[in-house]
Amino acid sequence: MTMLRVVLSGDFPQSRILSAALLVIFIALAAAPFLFPGTQSLNVAAKICYFVVLAASYDLLLGYTGIVSFAHTMFFGIGGYGAGLALYTWGPTWTSVLIGTLLGLGLAIVLALIIGLFSLRVRAIFFAMITLAVASAFAILASQLSWLTGGEDGRTFRVPEVLRPGYSLLEAGAFSINGRIITYYLIFLAALVLFLGMLRVVNSPFGRVLQGIRENEFRAEALGYRTIVYRSIVNCLSAAMATLAGVLAALWLRYTGPAVTLSFDIMLDILLMVVIGGMGTLYGAVIGATIFILAENYLQALMGALSKSAAGLPVLPQLFDPDRWLLWLGVLFVLSVYFFPAGIVGKLAARK
């Protein structure tokens, strides 16, 4: 129990149901290559891993500090392009991954610092508009610099040999560990370490100050805390975490491009994950990302099965037509906000 307290920074889930749900998610992700051996299932599990990091890093801004930003996918894209272009240009080596990651982190932190210093002094809505403008400009720039980024087509690249699907580490009958499984566990462990690192941050004195700024910025300023400094630091920290999530996505997909890293749709997805899971609690990012990505990948197939089973009945086959899955996803979101205004984690924590 003491070790668990240290690992979780003393921030235990405030509900048995929530604890059970998080444990199930952890076990499912930890054993995903063996519990769900299909290609699609492994892709979904990997996407959940790096989107948990991305959603949690956004919750540092929105949930813990009260900063509304629309530039988060820009930092996600910087990570993806940093690692991807380094591998594309300098070859599939770990040195390329390291250099690309460091360059991406450097650029993201500098941009986040500049945005923070020049924008965080203004009111929340104006800051949000500034971040939206910067993110849009970056996406346009990435599309137009086709000689470097590949334009709208992006870049496909090779990864180090040990991460390639054809690489075999162990084979014993039907049991095998190939490069794809190694890549998955690299992403899973990296996502776990990053998440626990963020959990440590929000439960530190620094994290308490961030929550104080969220609740009453003027009172925090009156107590002697330089709020602009704290907000700038958390902006840089959040950007760095989003950048690392982008690196993980690039290693898994072996591709980087505007559609998978810089799209505004991704920004909306992150926002939905944080709101559904619960703002101001990193565990909400885990729940929200898992529910959203599972719905995104399996809701259409589920609706197809329901439509077939309802064949011959009036209205129902058309109502559950697979082409209407986005409509039902929207309905689920509206219902979750209505019944869980504080998010799923907030509702469960209130019930204990």
210 CA to centre of own chain = 21
The residue segments making up the domain with residue 317 are 2-351
Percent of the chain whose predicted confidence (pLDDT) is above 90: 38
Helix (H, G, I), strand (E, B) or coil at 173: coil
**Per-residue pLDDT at 62 exceeds 80:** yes
* Count of the separate structural domains present in the chain: 1
Q: Give the separation between CA 254 and CA 271, rounded to whole angstroms.
A: 25
Distances 320 to 66, 297, 309 between C-alpha atoms, Å = 38, 16, 10
| Closest C-alpha among 194, 200, 234 to residue 214 | 234
Q: What is the pTM of this model?
A: 0.92
Q: Is a pLDDT exceeding 70 seen at residue 259? A: yes
Q: How confident is the model at residue 173 (pLDDT cuts 50, 70, 90)?
A: low
Whether 352 shows a pLDDT value over 60: the answer reads no
Q: What is the DSSP letter of 255?
A: E
Q: What percent of the chain has pLDDT over 70?
A: 95
**Who contacts 259 (Cβ-Cβ below 8 Å, separation ≥6)?**
152, 154
Return the pLDDT at 191. Answer: 96
Output the domain CATH number for residue 50: 1.10.3470
pLDDT tens, 97-135?
Answer: 999 999 999 999 999 998 887 766 666 677 788 888 888
Confidence of residue 65 (pLDDT cuts 50, 70, 90): confident
Element (H, E) at 161: none
Tens digit of each residue's pLDDT (9 = 90 or more) over 175-223: 678 889 999 999 999 999 999 999 999 988 888 988 888 888 888 888 8
Q: Are 311 and 286 in contact (CB under 8 A)?
A: no
Structure tokens at 92: 């599939």
Whole-Å CA distances, 317 to 113, 283, 306, 327, 329: 52, 37, 8, 15, 17
The average confidence (pLDDT) of the chain is 86
Residue entry with tokens 């950007």: 239
* Crossing angle (nearest 10°) for helices 264-277 and 282-309: 100
- List pLDDT tens digits, range 278-307: 888 889 899 999 999 998 888 877 877 777
Closest CA to 284 of 75, 22, 101: 22
Q: What is the pLDDT of residues 69-108, one digit of tens each?
A: 888 999 999 999 999 999 999 999 999 999 999 999 999 9
Given a contact cutoff of 8 angstroms between Cβ atoms, the answer to whether 287 and 342 are in contact is no
